[in-house]
Amino acid sequence: MMSTADTNSVPERKRGSGVKMVYDLLRDEILDLVLPPGSPIDEVQLAERFKMSRTPIREALVRLAGEGLIDTLPNRSTMVSNIDFLNMHTYFDALVLMYRVTTRLAAEHHRLEDLQVIHAHQADFAKAVEAQDALAMIATNAALHSAIAEAGRNPYFTGLFNRLLNEGRRLLRLYYQSYDDRLPQRFVDEHEDMIKVIAARDVEAADRLAKEHAEQIVDQIQKLFKRGGHLSIAL
């Protein structure tokens, strides 16, 4: 009865925290491509891994399915959902529009305290670029734009936009991975300009810069696809 010595590390989780833990972790692993599209999700395996029953695992999976991050074959299996490369332009159309609308609204409705938050995120992004840390760039870039959206004070748009950023996070990850050092510096400057016009409450300029910023990103990614032909990801 001694091998239980290490098993003593029973997590001792609190009551409602199990699902959130599983949800957050799976979500991150999916969005960071640790679990590439098509990876099978096994409930029992997860249950063992987290030392809990299948019930909370299941709840986390239902949530992930609700966000389209996993696909569930009835009675059969569940797996990480595919990245839809074919309809990718539709995603970018949506992303560009949301970039524009959130930035525009931020110029209209931001308050002073918002600018501080935005500046902080921008600093984080610049730091990530300088450190050439692709993963950090993704996270801080998303955080920055999310903060801008928050400043626009429209919960429907922010919810929408965050959802879109998440759905695209896997794509963006590919992008940042390929151009992992040189180009992002341009983003820092573009962000700087956007923040300036937001602070100046110049709505039209904000709209224009956001559009250019977004379309530049889209261009780069599409160039990437043309060059690479296809990507080193299991579909």
User: From the list a second copy, DNA, none, which binds 91 (C-beta under 5 to 8 Å, kind-based)?
Assistant: a second copy
Closest CA to 162 of 146, 151, 144, 140: 146
Q: Give me the residues that bind DNA (CB under 7 A), please.
A: 13-19, 41-44, 51-56, 58-59, 72, 74-78
Q: How far is the CB of 180 from a second copy (least distance, A)?
A: 27
Choosing among DNA, a second copy, none, which partner's interface includes residue 183 (Cβ < 5 to 8 Å by kind)?
A: none
Closest CB to a second copy among residues 18, 184: 18
Supply 82's token pair. 């595919």
Q: What is the DSSP letter of 233?
A: S
Out of DNA, a second copy, none, what residue 93 binds, judged by CB under 5 to 8 A for its kind, is a second copy
CB-based contact 157:105 (threshold 8 Å)? yes
Amino acid letter for position 130: E
Using CB under 8 A as the binding rule, whether residue 153 contacts a second copy is answered as yes
Residue with tokens 């997590």: 11
DSSP one-letter string for 189-212: HHHHHHHHHHHTT-HHHHHHHHHH
77 binds, among DNA, a second copy, none (CB under 5 to 8 A by kind): DNA
Task: Find which of DNA, a second copy, none residue 90 binds, CB within 5 to 8 Å per kind.
Answer: a second copy
The residue among 72 and 166 lying less far from DNA, judged by its C-beta, is: 72
CA distances from 172 to 51, 169, 180 (A): 33, 5, 11
Q: Six-digit token pair at 195?
A: 């923040």
For residues 105 and 35, what is the distance between their CA atoms, to the nearest angstrom? Answer: 35
Binding site for a second copy (CB under 8 A): 15-16, 55, 58-59, 62-63, 66-67, 74-75, 87, 90-91, 93-94, 97, 101, 153-157, 160, 163-164, 167
